[in-house]
Amino acid sequence: MENVKSIGCIQVLEEKLGKDYDLFSVTYKEETQILKEYAEKHNYLIYSRCKDEFSRYEAVHMAIDNGFDGVILENLS
């Protein structure tokens, strides 16, 4: 099995905006753009699902199957 890294969406936002960023100071559109830019730069898949459908296992396998180096995990619940 290939090595695929996973990172949470909050980790990506903290990396870009700093650990003390205010969740309400950034719009959903801005957050989405930050995640997209990170994903493109690092060849990561963005995996977003609600709690009932969320599966880290599925996310990693989707990344492997589609040639990504990693996956950004976003639980929408």
| Structural domain boundaries, residue 40 | 5-75
pLDDT tens for each residue of 7-25:
999 999 999 999 888 878 8
Average pLDDT over the chain, rounded to an integer = 93
- The domain tally of the chain equals 1
CA–CA separation, 64 and 52 (whole Å): 22
Q: What is the pLDDT of residue 55?
A: 95
Q: What is the pLDDT of residue 8?
A: 96
Closest C-alpha to 71, from 53, 54, 27, 17: 54
pTM strictly above 0.75: yes
Closest C-alpha to 9, from 52, 41, 45: 45
Burial-class residue 64 by CB neighbours within 10 Å (0-12, 13-18, 19+).
Answer: middle
